[in-house]
Amino acid sequence: MKLLKDYLSVRAIKVLSMCSIMIVAIFGGVATAAQSTFDIEAVKAKYSVRDYVYAAMPERGYDYFKIAENAYFVHDEFEHMVFFVTDDGVVVYDAKPDVTPFVLKVIPEVTDKPITHVIYSHHHRDHAQGMYLFPKTAKIIGNDETLKFLKIADDPKRPLPDIVWKDSHELETGGLRLEFKDYDRNWHSQSDIVVYAPQQKILLATDTFHADAAPWIHFGEATDPMMTWMLPQILLDDYPDFEFIINGHERIVPTRAHWETYKELIDDMKKITFEVAKSPAFHAMAEETARRYSDGAEHWIYKENIMTAAKMCADKFNQKWVGRVRNVRLNSVENFQMMFIQLITLNP
């Protein structure tokens, strides 16, 4: 995910000077005692809109704001993390190496309480290599799969968790409640988890999607594509009242509405894949391919059918989705290749 970050950095530098006054006005707020009247809709109106993706960054390279009761969102150009302030201390979700230094600057600005817990979202370096920067007194939480892969990695920047959980877990600390779940099947890594903060209505579901954008290439390096495509409906069903869904990338604050749009997009991709697979145009192409490789070169036929189908699917998809979300053309051919292989060629 580095290339896009570099691109965005260059882009942001160009517009950096434009709206620093506005940024100061927006980000001035910190925690107050009167949190019961916290306005989530105002957060969405400012930070969950496409314009915010392209807004200039402050010179310090990061920004932060409150997104729910006792919950803060810290982001740089393209990465974000969330932390919760409890009666007893601070609970941090994710340990991104790029954002953790900023989180460690922001926390003392909103509370003088210590960091009590830091949670691994999964074992990947871009989400875990900030862990060594946190105070040693903070308890590290990770699931059994994360532990397994961190042991293999043997990386001093990714210390092993102190609290290891399996299948599900609950953390109650200083009035904060977090509900952990491991779906067994993964969508992106080998150690994916979901954590829900019911009081804040924040679902922490890392590397699931990009808000207001088409999927990352190969659906975010999906380890189990079928699960990746089922996940939108699963999370909507299992967490019927979440307001935000924190995925770890982009500065836009992802909402339930973004997730619903993403579900619609995935459903549309599936529909297009089946339509193309059944279409006379695809079958005519497949027959032509078979004739061309009549010497029995099955490898070529297999590949060309996938490539052609993906191109046909992408053309249909792009017509419908360009403009509706960002980056539609970028990965559509590659992603339809994956979807066609899984849904049509393998036909589970």
Closer to Zn ion by Cβ: residue 73 or 216: 216
Closer to Zn ion by Cβ: residue 66 or 123: 123
CA atoms of 188 and 128, how far apart (whole Å): 15
| Under rule CB under 5 A, residue 79 binds Zn ion | no
Q: How many residues bind Zn ion (CB under 5 A)?
A: 2
Would you tell me how many other CB atoms lie within 10 Å of the CB of residue 7? 12
The binder of Zn ion chosen from 69, 79, 94, 207 (CB under 5 A): 207
Q: Interface with Zn ion by CB under 5 A: which range of 5-13, 101-109, 202-210, 261-269? A: 202-210
> Does residue 33 sit in helix, strand or coil?
coil
- Residue 89 sits at φ, ψ, to 5 deg, of 165, -155
Q: Interface with Zn ion by CB under 5 A: which range of 121-129, 141-149, 228-236, 301-309? A: 121-129
Residue 122 C-beta: closest distance to Zn ion, Å: 6
- Residue 54 sits at φ, ψ, to 5 deg, of -100, 5
CA atoms of 124 and 126, how far apart (whole Å): 6
Amino acid identity, position 46? K
Closer to Zn ion by Cβ: residue 249 or 316: 249
CA atoms of 81 and 103, how far apart (whole Å): 8
Q: Interface with Zn ion by CB under 5 A: which range of 51-59, 74-82, 199-207, 259-267? A: 199-207
Residue 189 C-beta: closest distance to Zn ion, Å: 5
Closer to Zn ion by Cβ: residue 140 or 205: 205
Residue 39, both tokens: 């306005």
CA atoms of 94 and 90, how far apart (whole Å): 13
Residue 336 C-beta: closest distance to Zn ion, Å: 22
The binder of Zn ion chosen from 66, 117, 123, 124 (CB under 5 A): 124
Question: How far is C-alpha 319 from the chain's CA centre?
Answer: 25
Which positions lie near Zn ion, rule CB under 5 A? 124, 207
